[in-house]
């Protein structure tokens, strides 16, 4: 039997596949879809890290207050070499009260890095500052001769009483012209609001007794601006505001921060029978 072969018409051969142009369009669409998916996953991951870091900061605040109720004082910050414990161990005059690390071992905080230091969701060590000096409130005179260290020694904290407020820290919305003037003598300041280079206060002076913050995602990549540098310069002026890009005044900012107002600390210690 003879089988005859018939050639496929030219039009049918073209209909059987894609042209290079059509393939390029398909690949472009797939690429755009994958890019959109990767961006969405990255944004979701970043949102989770921010939420987790904020949760850890709030946990740290509660653990610090719990430590104060159990020990009659706030802990000192950890140092770079204290393996996550306060420095000095047992409190008293702190080694570095305005530029230390959260004492994870002392307060029972998790998670920690291989050296025992508390970390945020990006693996950066959480920072911690605590007031050492006390003074009268703006309209009071009942804290006449406060003993130092005022908040990291149980006998001093009890002797000074609830008539004394912290002297060492203030939160501002930007870096400012003035630094911490005469630490332990005058309260730190954001400057005169409205003057060139000065900042608006976020907290009142003589309000913040302790403060915990994360240096954020950009700490791991070495970026950040002047506002973030203010939080690490070792004086009593700290900066807190919403995240900002590198093009903003004060530079890139993605620090996350919580603080303990002295009224909250006293209230919880009074409820726990530690004060007055």
Say if residues 204 and 195 touch (Cβ distance below 8 Å). no
In the predicted model, what is the mean pLDDT of the chain? 88
Confidence of residue 192 (pLDDT cuts 50, 70, 90): confident
- Is there a contact between 266 and 275 (Cβ–Cβ < 8 Å)? yes
Task: Report the pLDDT value the prediction gives residue 176, as an integer from 0 to 100.
Answer: 77
Q: What is the pLDDT of residue 30?
A: 83
Rounded Cα distance, 161 and 259, in Å? 20
The domains of the chain are located at: 36-271
Is 209 a residue whose pLDDT tops 80? yes
Q: 6 pLDDT band (50/70/90 cuts)?
A: low
Strands (E), 95-146: 100-101, 127-130, 134-135
């Amino acid at each position: 039997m003879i089988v005859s072969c018939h050639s496929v018409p030219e039009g049918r051969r073209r209909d059987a596949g894609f042209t290079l142009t059509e393939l390029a369009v398909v690949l472009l669409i797939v690429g755009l879809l994958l890019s959109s998916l990767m961006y969405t996953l990255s944004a979701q991951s970043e949102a989770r890290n921010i939420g987790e870091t904020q949760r850890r900061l709030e946990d740290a605040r509660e653990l610090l207050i719990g430590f104060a109720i159990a020990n009659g004082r706030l802990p000192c910050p950890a140092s770079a070499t204290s393996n996550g414990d306060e420095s000095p161990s047992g409190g008293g005059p702190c080694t570095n009260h305005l530029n230390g690390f959260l004492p994870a071992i002392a307060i029972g905080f998790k998670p920690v890095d291989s050296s025992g230091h508390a970390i945020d969701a990006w693996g950066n060590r959480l920072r911690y500052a605590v007031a050492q000096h006390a003074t009268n409130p703006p309209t009071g005179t009942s804290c006449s001769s406060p003993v130092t260290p005022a908040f990291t020694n149980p006998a001093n904290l009890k002797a000074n009483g609830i008539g004394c407020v912290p002297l060492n820290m203030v939160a501002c919305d930007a870096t400012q012209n003035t630094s911490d003037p005469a630490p332990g003598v005058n309260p730190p300041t954001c400057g005169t609001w409205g003057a060139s280079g000065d900042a608006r206060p976020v907290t009142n002076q003589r309000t913040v007794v302790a403060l915990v913050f994360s240096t954020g995602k950009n700490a791991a990549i070495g970026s950040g601006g002047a506002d973030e540098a203010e939080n690490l310069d070792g004086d009593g002026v700290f900066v807190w505001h919403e995240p900002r890009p590198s093009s903003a005044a004060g530079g890139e900012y993605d620090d996350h921060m919580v603080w303990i107002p002295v009224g909250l600390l006293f209230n919880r210690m009074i409820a726990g029978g530690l004060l007055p």
